[in-house]
Amino acid sequence: MRSFFGTWLGLAIATFAITISSAAEKSSAETPLFIELVSREGRPPSLLIFAGRRTEFVLTLTASAVIEPQLSTDLFAAAGQIAAPIATGLLPKVHRDGASKAGVQRFCFSLDLPALERRQKVILRTRVRTSDDGEWLPLPAVVTEVVPLTWRNTLRRFVEKTPSTRAADCKRLEVVFQRAGVNVPESSPAALANDPAARVWFADSEDDTCMPPTAPAVTWVVFKKSVGNDIEVTRAECGALVVAVDATVLANLDTDPAAQGLFERALATAEALARP
C-alpha cells in the first residue's frame, strides 16, 4: 500500500516507476550515454496511471559532461498485437532535477495521458538527443496501463442498489460520500439492529480494533490502519461479516489507481456478501 501514500501535487501530477536503459556511441569525441528512466522512490517497473492525467517521469543520464537533453515521444494504444497511434511527435519540456554537474544527471518531464473510458494499455516510445542537431537515440518502449477514474460512479451505483448506513463522526468517510454526491445516513450499532432494511454499515476507525455492529445480517465495511495492500474479510463474534480496507485508501482515491482498485473491490465484496 505504500505505493499510494504520495502527495497530491495540485495539478494532478504523479511520479511513477519505470526502468529502461539504452547506450549509444554518438561520435568518437563523445562519451557513450547511459540513459534510464527511474522512479524517485525506486519502485519496480510497473505503471498504473489515471486516464486524462498529467504524469511526471524522471530521466537519469550518466555522462562525462553537463548535458541538456531533448525528448520526442509517441503514444500508442495497445490491443493484442496491434498498436494504434494516439499521439505522435510529442516534445515534452525537460527540466533539471538537482545540480548541473557531470556524472549522474537527473531530469523530469511530464506527459498528458489520454482520457480513456476503459482500462487500456498505452505504449510510450521515446527518443532522446543532447543537441539540436544531435542524433536521436531510441529508448526501449514503455508499456503503461491507463485506468479511468471510476470510484465515484461505482459508489453511487453501490448505494443505489444496497441500502447503506455509516457510523457517526467518521469525517473522512463523510468527505468521500460528499465527493461522490451520495447521501449515506448515520446509524449506531444499536439502531442498526432494529433496521431490517440496512444491508451495509460503513465505519472509519483510527485504530486497529472496532466494535462490530450488533446485527449479524449487516455487512460491515471498515477503513482502518495497517490492513495492507489487500482487503480482509472476517466474521465478527456476533456473526456479522466484516470487510476491512486500509484507511489510507480514502485519501488517495483521486490520485492512485491502486487505491481506487481496493476501494471498488471492497464495495463489490460487500455487495456480494450483503445479498439477502
Instruction: Check whether residue 14 and residue 102 sit in a common domain.
Output: yes
Residues 90 and 177 placed together within one structural domain of the fold: no
Q: pLDDT tens-digit profile of 154-188? A: 999 999 999 888 888 788 899 999 999 999 888 87
52 neighbors 115 (Cβ within 8 angstroms): yes
pLDDT tens digits, 39-54:
444 444 447 788 888 8
| pLDDT-based confidence at residue 7 (cuts at 50, 70, 90) | very low
Same domain, 134 and 178: no
- Supply the CATH number for residue 91's domain: 2.60.40.10
Are 240 and 134 contained in the same domain? no
How many domains does the chain contain in total? 2
More confident residue, 266 or 225: 266
- Whether the per-residue pLDDT at 261 is higher than 60: the answer is yes
In the chain, the percentage of residues whose pLDDT exceeds 70 is 77
Distance CA 92, CA 134 (A): 17
Is the per-residue pLDDT at 20 higher than 50? Answer: no
pLDDT on residue 212? 61
Mean confidence (pLDDT) of the chain: 77
Task: Check residue 246 and give its pLDDT.
Answer: 92
How many whole angstroms separate alpha carbon 1 and alpha carbon 249?
9
Judge whether residue 210 has pLDDT over 90: no
- Domain final residue, candidates 147, 179, 213: 147
Q: Output the pLDDT for position 28.
A: 30
Residues 15 and 143 in one domain: yes
Over the stretch 139-157, which tens digit does the pLDDT of each residue have?
A: 777 788 888 999 999 999 9
Q: Which amino acid, 148?
A: P
CA–CA distance, 44 with 127 (Å, rounded to integer): 22
CATH number at 263 reads 3.40.50
Confidence check: pLDDT of 121 > 90: no
Domain region containing 245: 151-273
137: pLDDT strictly greater than 50? yes
Q: Are residues 129 and 160 in the same domain?
A: no
Residues 53 and 137 in one domain: yes
Task: Judge if 209 and 81 occupy the same domain.
Answer: no
Domain boundary among 147, 170, 192: 147
236 and 192 fall within a common domain: yes
Domain ends where: 115, 147, 179? 147
Residue 11 has pLDDT above 80, yes or no: no
Provide the grid cell at 60.
Answer: 537519469
Overall average pLDDT of the 223-232 stretch: 85
* One domain, residues 102 and 175: no
**Confidence grade of residue 117 (pLDDT, cut at 50, 70, 90):** confident
The whole-number pLDDT of residue 206 equals 60
Quick one: 7 and 105 in the same domain?
A: yes
- Distance of alpha carbon 230 from alpha carbon 265, whole angstroms: 9
Residue 227 has pLDDT above 60, yes or no: yes
Question: At 209, is the pLDDT very low, low, confident or very high (cuts 50, 70, 90)?
Answer: low
Q: Say whether both 36 and 75 belong to one domain.
A: yes
**Local confidence band at 56 (pLDDT 50, 70, 90 cut-offs):** confident
